[in-house]
Amino acid sequence: MSLRKLVGVIHPRIAVVIHDLAMAAVAWWLAKLLRYMLRPDEVVSFMALEFPIVLVVQGLIFRMTGLYKSVWRFASLPDLWNILRGVVLGSVAIGLSLFLYSRLEGVPRSVLLLYPILLAVLLGGPRLAYRFWKDSRSDLFQNKKVKRVLIVGADRAGEVLSRDLKRDSRYSVVGFVDDTAGLRGASINGKPVLGRLDQLPEVSREAAVEMLLIALPAASTTEMRRVVSLCDATGLPYRTVPRLDDVVAGRAQFNQIKEVAIEDLLGRDAVELDWTSIRETLTGRRVLVTGGGGSIGAELCRQVARLGAQSLTVVEQSEYNLYRISQELRANFPELILEAILANCGDQPAMHKAFVETQPQVVFHAAAYKHVPMLQGQLRTAFRNNVLATRTVADLAREVGVECFVLISTDKAVNPTSVMGACKRVAEIYCQNLNAHADTRFITVRFGNVLDSAGSVVPLFRRQIREGGPVTVTHPEISRYFMTIPEACQLILQSASIGKGSEIFALDMGEPVKIRDLAEQMIRLAGKKPGGDIPIVYTGLRAGEKLFEELFHPLENYSATEHAKIFLAQHREVSWDLLQAMLNNAAEAVAKFNEEELRRCVSNLLPSFRWSEVAQPDNVVSIRRINPEKSE
């Protein structure tokens, strides 16, 4: 067998063991040689079993200290620490073994001091040299063009990112920019801090940078907007590392490079939640989620499973959505008792069977129709699904003794001007007033638009930008509150833990975002120019659409809670008998498809709701193109 073939069949770990034992023998021989060089009159001598004892003992010590679990390609300080531990412990163990064997005859004590020093050098040197060679050889032998990158942020994340990029032949880090005064003129991993963040355009130009990498995972939304604005000013492509919340939640890796998402700029600073009380509410409990295949429902299922629920029942009327979320949950939480039910929440017999068989203790009712323009001409369908189905599920929760029922509502239910908002408001009224007639705690959670949820404006804009535009915005001054899907679900879980019953909880969602600004920012994130590469067209407000949304009605007397960013509104009481009678009339109108009677029922339930706004035809719009000169 040729030498090449012989090397090929040797496992890398075996080669490392052979190398380290050979270095141990060399170190022992050199230690004795150096010792006897000081006394030329003495002769170097070795006992018969001296080298076998040294190699066996040192090999066992290396194995105990975990030296062979590391990879030379990624040798670092922890590996050097393992080497130091191994050689020191090895020297002690060899000394004891030789003492038991021959009372250290022919082994001067100084040899035991020289040996670990020499062995540490002989083991650490080749490892570091090998890593340096592997890190540098890819740049020499690969034909790929190396991209010069500047890292924005010289904190821990930036340092880790620059170290990882040394092993990536596609990038060459030229330096950092950071606002920390103590880092002026500093060098990190051999790369200089070239300036402050506000000097980013000048530094990028002077250093001939080709890409910017944002390494600020703990930056607030305001800080992130500023950084992205400075990156935009350079005209260079830029990427970022994931947010700290995403890393902690396991949704991303710390050193993963990704495109800057609109969620990074429109989300708000994380809300501090009481996870202890949330776990007490859900851990070991039987939970049922309606609409569990939708954007909010699916994330609720994930978080409920992650918090250790005893069992989870998912009710969903979309076959594909139910299949998708059930497959995901079974793969990620194999110990979870999961029941997937394909049913409409308005199907009373099916829901009765589901509640009786699973006996849920906590119910999250997320099933609803939510598309405002589509529901404007679909009053019967909207009322049947958003009101009557909610009543069916809420009544069953009371019947089987559910401890907590959480209704997922919307800011569009406040002073509603749309069919969707009106139906959600009626559902709120029913659950709030049912609370007084049940042992179940009925809680309403109200929030604004959810970024990247199905049917939201973000996927629409993303598709329009991908197709080259135009991006359609209904009105230049229209604004909305936005939150991420995980944020919305965390608020829901927190509300379930602190609600006493009949409350409306809402998150302090910060400042509303103009949809025009959202469109322009998404166009810039795609590397295009708003009004130039991608036009923006204003189509006019649609029927039932507001310029701005509200989270509370003035009569709801909202107040602060124990959580700084969560507010509480007191519900408005309605006569229970009158409410039941009006809903029965409405249900009869739905069964007979009598929309005129259904309109009267909704008017009786919501006297302030103006049907004149609903009657506006959706296809009468004004179209105005954005002025490119004012888009910058």
Q: Which fold has domain 275-453+481-510+546-591?
A: Rossmann fold (3.40.50)
Q: Could you give the residue range(s) of every CATH 3.40.50.720 domain in the chain?
A: 147-260, 275-453+481-510+546-591
Look up residue 240 and give its two tokens: 């970022």
3-state secondary structure of 290: strand
pLDDT (0 to 100) of residue 72: 54
Cα(459)–Cα(215) distance, integer angstroms: 26
pLDDT (0 to 100) of residue 528: 77
| Beta strand extents in 129-204 (DSSP E only) | 147-152, 171-177, 187-188, 191-195
The residue type found at 499 is G
pLDDT (0 to 100) of residue 106: 72
pLDDT (0 to 100) of residue 546: 66
Q: Which residues of the chain have pLDDT under 70?
A: 1-13, 38-45, 68-78, 131-144, 168-169, 242-259, 261-272, 450-456, 481, 508-511, 543-546, 548-565, 570-572, 612-632
Please report, to the nearest 10 degrees, the dihedral formed by the alpha carbons of residues 398, 404, 408, 412 taken in order. Answer: 80
Cβ contacts of residue 204 below 8 Å, gap of 6+? 150, 212, 234, 236
Q: Among candidates 329, 332, 364, 335, which has minimal Cα distance to 490?
A: 364
Cα(195)–Cα(185) distance, integer angstroms: 8
Look up the CATH number of domain 147-260.
Answer: 3.40.50.720
Distances from the Cα of 69 to the Cα of 121, 125, 129, 146, angstroms: 19, 18, 19, 32
Cα(457)–Cα(517) distance, integer angstroms: 13
pLDDT (0 to 100) of residue 316: 97
Q: Is 274 left (phi over 0), alpha (psi -120 to 50) or beta?
A: beta
Cβ contacts of residue 44 below 8 Å, gap of 6+? 32, 33, 36
pLDDT (0 to 100) of residue 443: 93
pLDDT (0 to 100) of residue 14: 77
Do 492 and 408 meet the contact criterion of CB atoms below 8 Å apart? yes
- Cross-strand bridge partners of residue 176: 151, 193
Q: What is the pLDDT of residues 566-597, one digit of tens each?
A: 777 766 678 899 999 999 999 999 999 999 99
Tally of CB atoms within 10 A around 460: 13
pLDDT (0 to 100) of residue 626: 36
pLDDT (0 to 100) of residue 358: 96
pLDDT (0 to 100) of residue 550: 60
Cα(38)–Cα(375) distance, integer angstroms: 96
pLDDT (0 to 100) of residue 612: 58
